[in-house]
Amino acid sequence: MRIVSGIQPTGKLHLGNYLGAIRNWVRMQDENAAAGGETLFFLADLHSLSDHIPAETRREGVREMAAALIAAGVDPARAILFNQARVPAHAELCWLLNGTARMGWLNRMTQWKDKAGKNREGASVALFDYPVLQAADVLVYQATHVPVGEDQKQHLELARDIATKFNTDFGVELFPLPDPIIPPAAARIMSLRDGSAKMSKSDPSDMARINLADDDDLIAQKIKKAKTDPEPLPGEAAGLEARPEARNLVGIYAALADQSVDQVLARFAGQGFGAFKPALAELLVETLRPIRDRFVALKDDHDAIDRVLMAGAERAAALAAPTLDAAYRALGLFR
């Protein structure tokens, strides 16, 4: 298996990232190391150019997110951890794939439509081309498995389309089609304030998300204030269908406890949120406390973090080189 995934280094690592992706990264990294495969995780700092961010914020974001990932269990001895900007092969392959990707495909991407909104003329080219860079991120390593949350599924389907068209147009079998690995529960954790919006780094309200570095009191307070409804919990999952906020909280509990939603409901059926919320807060605090402690101990050791990222970049660049060479050759480009 060749496992590859990335995360934007802007904003804080939150519960949606953790349950939707990072926990799976850690599990897959361990299995893949035992099986002798390579695993690569990176900070998508080049992707962050699609937003206007001051340089210093970007620099801090990369180091802070690297520390958070290590704290959450990403192990540089088992997975190659690096930032994208240190491995030029990502940007190079993106440019090569720009010849294959179609405007119509990119126009259909929901992230583009949501973020550009009505202001398409004023949106950056980087925002439009974002999914092609993401395709390059995985294809440059000939990734077979890409652990992500539900919201990245469309981008990965695009990566498969680009890979298929490139292979066909140039008569090569260069890019295997990467499989998205999406967790069965927790693929889409929603905002604590609005059950129809996903939990996100960019939500202006910090009360809408649980950050992995939040302290115990803040976590308890956020869960206490989370939006719910006055009904007691039902006996099975079907009873949550029209109750997005309740479904989200029960889903979070289930993911944390590694249980099914029905198992959680079997325990809390008939009880209201006055009973459920404290149990959820306790489970969250127990899960996140060790991650936060490791994060606090590591985050200011810039030298140690930079060493990890530089060593990772060197290994990643070596893995990318043959695929990038083959892509140049397939296109008839002299280097």
Catalytically active residues are: 115, 198, 201
Q: Taking the complex as a whole, how short is the minimal distance between the CB of residue 152 and ligand TYM, in angstroms?
A: 4
Here's the x/- map for ligand TYM, 37-76, by CB under 6 A: it reads as -------x--x-----------------------------
Q: Taking the complex as a whole, how short is the minimal distance between the CB of residue 274 and ligand TYM, in angstroms?
A: 26
* Selected binder of ligand TYM within 2, 3, 5, 309 (CB under 6 A): 5
Residue 199 as a binder of ligand TYM (CB under 6 A): the answer is yes
* Selected binder of ligand TYM within 20, 76, 251, 312 (CB under 6 A): 20
Token representation of residue 226 = 């989370």
Q: Is residue 36 part of an annotated ligand binding site?
A: no
Q: Is residue 150 part of an annotated ligand binding site?
A: yes
Cβ proximity to ligand TYM, 17 vs 100, nearer residue: 17
Residue 7 as a binder of ligand TYM (CB under 6 A): the answer is yes
Q: Is 253 exposed, middle or buried (0-12, 13-18, 19+ CB in 10 A)?
A: buried
Q: Taking the complex as a whole, how short is the minimal distance between the CB of residue 308 and ligand TYM, in angstroms?
A: 19
Strand residues in the chain grouped as ranges (E): 2-7, 38-43, 80-83, 145-147, 179-181
Q: Taking the complex as a whole, how short is the minimal distance between the CB of residue 73 and ligand TYM, in angstroms?
A: 15
* Selected binder of ligand TYM within 6, 61, 76, 195 (CB under 6 A): 6
Among candidate residues 106, 101, 104, the one with its CA nearest the CA of residue 136: 101
Q: How far apart are CA 91 and CA 188, in angstroms?
A: 29
Task: For 154, list phi and psi in degrees, rounded to 5.
Answer: -65, -40
Here's the x/- map for ligand TYM, 165-194, by CB under 6 A: it reads as ----------------------xxx-----
* Selected binder of ligand TYM within 2, 3, 16, 61 (CB under 6 A): 16
Q: Is residue 3 part of an annotated ligand binding site?
A: no
Token pair 């308890």: residue: 220
Among candidate residues 291, 322, 310, the one with its CA nearest the CA of residue 42: 310
Token representation of residue 45 = 């700092």
Contact 53, 10 (CB under 8 A): yes
Q: What is the footprint of ligand TYM within residues 99-158 (CB under 6 A)?
A: 134, 137-138, 146, 148-149, 151-152
Q: Taking the complex as a whole, how short is the minimal distance between the CB of residue 145 and ligand TYM, in angstroms?
A: 11
Residue 198 as a binder of ligand TYM (CB under 6 A): the answer is yes
Task: For 20, list phi and psi in degrees, rounded to 5.
Answer: -75, -35
Please identify, among the stretches 6-14, 26-34, 233-241, 281-289, the one whose residues bind ligand TYM according to the rule CB under 6 A: 6-14
Q: Is residue 9 part of an annotated ligand binding site?
A: yes
Q: How far apart are CA 254 and CA 69, in angstroms?
A: 22
Q: Is residue 206 part of an annotated ligand binding site?
A: no
Reported as type and span, the H/E element at residue 116 is: helix 110-116
Token representation of residue 266 = 């079997």
Task: For 42, list phi and psi in degrees, rounded to 5.
Answer: -140, 160
Token representation of residue 83 = 């930032």
Q: How far apart are CA 117 and CA 109, in angstroms?
A: 12
Residue 182's identity, in one-letter code, is I
Q: Is residue 168 part of an annotated ligand binding site?
A: no
Q: Taking the complex as a whole, how short is the minimal distance between the CB of residue 322 and ligand TYM, in angstroms?
A: 20
Cβ proximity to ligand TYM, 146 vs 327, nearer residue: 146
Q: Is residue 20 part of an annotated ligand binding site?
A: no
CB burial string 254-270: b at 16+ within 10 A, e below: bbbeeeebeebbeebee
Biggest CA pair distance of the chain: 70
Q: Is residue 210 part of an annotated ligand binding site?
A: no
Instruction: State the residues that interact with ligand TYM by CB under 6 A.
Output: 5-8, 16-17, 20-21, 44, 47, 134, 137-138, 146, 148-149, 151-152, 187-189, 198-199
Binding region for L-tryptophan: 137
